[in-house]
Amino acid sequence: MPGNAVDPLATEKTRDQIMAEREAKKLAKQAKKQKTAPTPTAATPAVLTTPSAPATKIITEVEQTTITTKLTTTTTTKVQDAVASKTTQPAAVNGKDAEAGEKTREQIKAEREAKKAAKKAGKGGGAKVEGIAQQLADLKVAEKAPVAASAAPSTTEADQEKKKPALSKAERRAIQEAQRAAKAQVQTKKAQHAAKAPPSAAPKGPNRKSVSPTTAATSSSPVKCPASTPNVDCRVKLFNHLVCAKEDSQFINDPLVHPSIARLGVQYAKRTVVGSNARCIAFLHALRQVVHDFETPAKKEFGRSLDAAVKHHVDHLHKCRPLAVSVSNAYKQFKNQLTQLPADVPETESKELLVHFIDTYIENQIGKAAQAISGFLQEKITDGDVLLTFACSSLIQFICEEAKRRQVAFRVIVVDSRPGCEGQELLRRLHATGIPCTYVLINAVGYVMVEATKVLLGAHALLANGYVMARTGTAQVALVANAHNVPVLVCCETHKFSERFQTDAIVYNELSDPNQLVRGDKCQLSNWAAKGKLLPLNLSYDITPPELVSAVVTEVAILPCTSVPVILRIKPDIGY
């Protein structure tokens, strides 16, 4: 089998060999013609006149024949070596054949130079051809040397990897445990050394930090009450986003805060001013005083300067207590009015326009709205009705007083709940006007609901999805009324409408002081702060779903809860 594979390879000739043989034949024919020619011709005068010319031609012919024989012998030897390597190393046949068949760029250039030298053999002689052949051999040797050199490092690295012992999983785990133990031992030594070291004294001289009077006053002022400050570890993560109650005494020595705003902030924090309408009216009165006393700085515009000052005051009130929806809507309307002030109007006239806007807002959005709502409900209240209400609402008080003026024979059941017990204030006001009342706590609402003919409820805000946000306990009263088929009417002005969507009382709410839930020294919660992981939850508002509300009475009309988006679209100037 090896002999059969060599014969066809040996008989094949390359293009260079064929060209070399043709050139040799041409030179041989020319030499014969020159020998037989008796007289010199015009084509070869120099060759005949020179005695050494024929000799050079003969030498070149011999050299060409030797070149062709060398080329043929080298190709045959290469083919024989390739065949022998196939028989001895079958795995490396494809790689060696590819190397023998493929030529580099340098080899191709060398062969071209050899062809040129063969054509010009008469001029340069055979020394150049031999030199080119030697260059080809050197190139092949140089190509093989780097391959061997590059293979050597890889083999040494592989040998080193083989010599390394392979660690088992248990051994690797033991090494990791030893490293961890060493780190722990170092840390314990550092802690012991730090405990034994004496406490460092305060730095003296230029390293001592100077404390300014304002910094000392800020640090010494009590921002939060330590008794009511909840521990961070005790708080449930479900209520971490809610705003905690602030301490009554706020740091009010701020020159940028107007005295009326500072006084109102303390009233908000102490819960002296409660109720959505009352908080809104107090805010607008304080804002009117701020506008009246405001002085435009030098080289400043009145509108922009006043806007920045009012924003600072509103932020101060928000720190004292989160703003009600009614207060936020009023502030939004004031800002819109402030941006619409003409620029060419003097400052005194601009202040008069703003004061007039504040007075008009109080009169229309609160005063006249209450009258319109009362007018709608007077048609629903008849003799013998028993009205049930919850907590204290100034709007419900106004409606009951109007019904009393109309000399309607009715009575009121006031349902109240701890810890605020705001229903006691409503009871006192209604009793002062001569309206017969009954006062019960919320745990007895199921017993008195059978006597009620209508349930009138106030609201802190009416959300865009129809849910009612009111004092905690409103949802329970509405649920009991729905179970007894008693109609539930929610009285709410449109300036309390909010564009917020909310379906529970956890997404947004206000946390009141936990100490309000402590009834006395005998209460189990009297020392809740020292008991560890315990924090009383005192939510201010709850959410009543629209399924439990029969209708919402507004100054526009008596509407279902789902009509809130319609009112917001009709009156785009209202909304949170």
pLDDT digits (tens, 9 = 90+) for 175-203: 888 888 888 878 777 766 665 554 444 33
Ranges assigned E (strand) in 163-291 = none
Distances (CA, A) of 376 to 308, 316, 380: 41, 39, 7
Higher-confidence position of 412 and 419: 412
Share of the chain above pLDDT 70, in %: 67
> How are beta strands 558-559 and 551-553 bridged, if at all?
antiparallel
Domain positions in the chain are 247-366, 380-570
The winner for highest mean pLDDT among 78-87, 227-236, 337-346 is 337-346
As a whole number, mean pLDDT of residues 213-220 equals 35
Distances (CA, A) of 67 to 20, 80, 105, 385, 573: 8, 20, 22, 133, 106
> Beta-carbon neighbour count of residue 225 at 10 Å?
14
- CA dist 246 and 472 (Å) reads 19
For 60, residues 6+ apart whose C-beta sits below 8 A from its C-beta are 27, 121, 122, 125, 126
Phi and psi based region of residue 257 (left: phi greater than 0; alpha: psi -120 to 50; beta: remaining):
beta
State the pLDDT at residue 163: 52
As a whole number, mean pLDDT of residues 439-456 equals 97
pTM for this entry: 0.60
Asked if the model's pLDDT at residue 12 lies above 90, the reply is: no
- CA dist 490 and 500 (Å) reads 18
DSSP state of 364: I
User: In what order do the strands lie in the sheet containing 461-462?
Assistant: 461-462, 468-471, 541-544
pLDDT in tens, 517-542: 888 777 878 888 777 778 888 999 99
> How are beta strands 385-390 and 541-544 bridged, if at all?
unpaired
pLDDT in tens, 491-510: 999 999 999 999 999 999 99
Can you state the percent helix, strand and coil of the chain, rounding each to 5?
A: 60, 10, 30
Higher-confidence position of 368 and 173: 368
State the pLDDT at residue 57: 42
Mean pLDDT of the residues in the chain:
77
pLDDT in tens, 330-340: 999 999 999 99
CATH number for the domain whose boundaries are 247-366: 1.20.120.420
- CA dist 330 and 374 (Å) reads 22
Spatial CA neighbour of 417 closest among 349, 297, 517, 487: 517
Higher-confidence position of 366 and 157: 366
Asked if the model's pLDDT at residue 376 lies above 50, the reply is: yes
CATH number for the domain whose boundaries are 380-570: 3.40.50.10470
State the pLDDT at residue 149: 44
The winner for highest mean pLDDT among 24-28, 51-55, 232-236, 293-297 is 293-297
State the pLDDT at residue 28: 83
State the pLDDT at residue 104: 73
- CA dist 68 and 16 (Å) reads 9
- CA dist 507 and 319 (Å) reads 19
Spatial CA neighbour of 557 closest among 324, 379, 407: 379
* Cis bond before residue 146 (omega within 30° of 0): no
Higher-confidence position of 394 and 69: 394
State the pLDDT at residue 338: 93
Spatial CA neighbour of 474 closest among 292, 276, 270: 276
Helices vs. strands in the chain: H and E counts, helices first: 21, 10
pLDDT in tens, 552-576: 999 999 999 989 999 888 875 544 3
Residues facing residue 388 across a β-bridge: 413, 455
- CA dist 192 and 185 (Å) reads 11
Query: What is the per-residue burial (b if ≥16 Cβ within 10 Å, else e) of 136-149?
Result: beeeeeeeeeeeee
The winner for highest mean pLDDT among 46-50, 69-73, 253-257 is 253-257
Asked if the model's pLDDT at residue 67 lies above 90, the reply is: no
Least confident of 120-129, 313-322, 427-436: 120-129
Residue reference for tokens 């109240």: 416
- Residues 393, 520 contacting (CB under 8 angstroms): no
- CA dist 450 and 495 (Å) reads 34
Asked if the model's pLDDT at residue 66 lies above 80, the reply is: no
Least confident of 33-47, 97-111, 338-352, 374-388: 33-47
The phi, psi pair for 555, rounded to 5°, reads -70, -15
Asked if the model's pLDDT at residue 220 lies above 50, the reply is: no
Residue 272 in 3-state DSSP? Answer: coil
Asked if the model's pLDDT at residue 371 lies above 70, the reply is: yes
For 69, residues 6+ apart whose C-beta sits below 8 A from its C-beta are none
Let me know if the fold of 247-366 is the same as that of 380-570. no
Kindly state the tokens that stand for 418: 């701890």
- CA dist 69 and 527 (Å) reads 116
> Beta-carbon neighbour count of residue 40 at 10 Å?
13
Asked if the model's pLDDT at residue 99 lies above 60, the reply is: no
Residue reference for tokens 């010009």: 120
Higher-confidence position of 199 and 33: 33
As a whole number, mean pLDDT of residues 39-44 equals 41
- CA dist 36 and 471 (Å) reads 136
